[in-house]
Amino acid sequence: MKNSHQAVAFMAIPLTLAMTVNCSFAFFAAVVPKLWTIVEYMFPGAILAFLAIGIYALKIFVEYFTSFMIKGDFDYAKKQQPFSDDGNIRFLHDSCRLRCTCRHDTH
């Protein structure tokens, strides 16, 4: 998958990690008594975690971006447009494999 157009999906990993840091911080703030008395000592750790996640995200993005810029194999015509010419949502049919009972259904 890393050598295809879907490699951009790996950008969800840093997002998941950052949201884990956010949610765990909020969870422990709600559950642990008197956590707010020492919270200023926890902020540098959170900043370092977000910095590490940001560097990881940048690494993933640079690898993805340079792979198709250097190789030149990114085919824009191959990418599907989410909307067809008449304004109907095409990706629901193609990507999700949903059956539609609309008038424009060709399945």
Q: How many degrees, rounded to 5, is the angle at CA 91 between CA 103 and CA 5?
A: 160
SS3 letters across the chain: CCCCHHHHHHHHHHHHHHHHHHHHHHHHHHHCCCHHHCHHHHHHHHHHHHHHHHHHHHHHHHHHHHHHHHHCCCCCCCCCCCECCCCCECHHHHCCCCCCCCCCCCC
> How high does pLDDT run on average in the chain?
75
Q: What is the mean pLDDT of residues 18-35?
A: 90
pLDDT at 3 over 50: yes
pTM of the model: 0.63
Task: Using the structure block, give the residue that is written with the tokens 């792979």.
Answer: 67
Domains in the chain: boundaries = 5-74, 79-107
- pLDDT for res 92: 47
